[in-house]
Structure 1
Amino acid sequence: MNLQIEMEHHRGVLIVRLSGELDHHTSDMVRMQMDEAIQRRQCEHIVLSLKNLQFMDSSGLGVILGRYKLINQKGGEMAVCDVNPPVHRLLDMSGLFKIMPIYDNEVNALTELEVVS
């Protein structure tokens, strides 16, 4: 299965929606597209929506952690939302939720980042 990536900017937040599989075959593409969007738009925060992500491996974790570090160094925050059970389990086992908040949906994530219009 392939990976689809949809990005939207909302009041200084890069919203990234991933569908499909984030693995060693697709992680470089996601990394490059997110880095380009962060640099081009000067985003303050990132919301990563994983509602339609069916699979993720350690390469995907690396992409998420790398973008977290990048936005954190700029003084921003990164949040994850809409995580399905198999991906949630991987993120939980990795300890990601100790450094990054998880929300039920994009609206809640944006509300917590105080950027809802």
Structure 2
Amino acid sequence: MQISSKQKGDTIILKMSGELDHHSAQNVRTTLDNLIETPSIKHMIMDLSGLRFMDSSGIGVFIGRYKVLAKRGGNILVCGLNANITKIFEISGLFKITRAYGSVDEALQSLKGVG
């Protein structure tokens, strides 16, 4: 699993590539927690266009980070979902806590005006 990140204001933008499964989930959790440990970070945009596979361990990664950001009035937004990842999001109910966008720019645009 490879993760690159950049910060734009109160938003962390991530690009994830590889597989998010029980082998990589703990490292991903640690990496994401370190990125959002600063209380001024409210939103996370996750570009998943490079994510080839995700299992139930990945669902927990999303839910845990969502809880942290929701307490700050923030959101997790995703983009670049392939058909398999979309299906996992649908079945697991992750779309109840996040919205999918066509691109990082669309996700950023949706946050404009969000305090």
User: 2:97 pairs with 75, 96, 99, which one?
Assistant: 99
**What amino acid is the match of 1:42?**
S
Q: How many residues are treated as equivalent by the alignment?
A: 113
Structure 1: runs of 5+ lacking an equivalent: none
Root mean square deviation, CA, Å: 1.3
Distance in 2 separating the partners of 1:21 and 1:41:
28
The corresponding residue for 1:49 is 47
User: 1:78 pairs with 71, 76, 79, which one?
Assistant: 76
TM-score by length of 2: 0.93
User: 2:66 pairs with 68, 73, 76, which one?
Assistant: 68
Secondary structure in 2 aligned to 1:37? helix
Q: Is 1:58 aligned with 2:56?
A: yes
Give the 4+ runs in structure 1 shifted more than 3 A.
none
Structure 2: runs of 5+ lacking an equivalent: none
Distance in 2 separating the partners of 1:30 and 1:6:
11
Distance in 2 separating the partners of 1:74 and 1:111:
20
Secondary structure in 1 aligned to 2:37? helix
Distance in 2 separating the partners of 1:99 and 1:23:
20
The corresponding residue for 1:29 is 27
Identical residues among aligned pairs (%)? 39
Q: CA deviation at 1:40?
A: 3.8
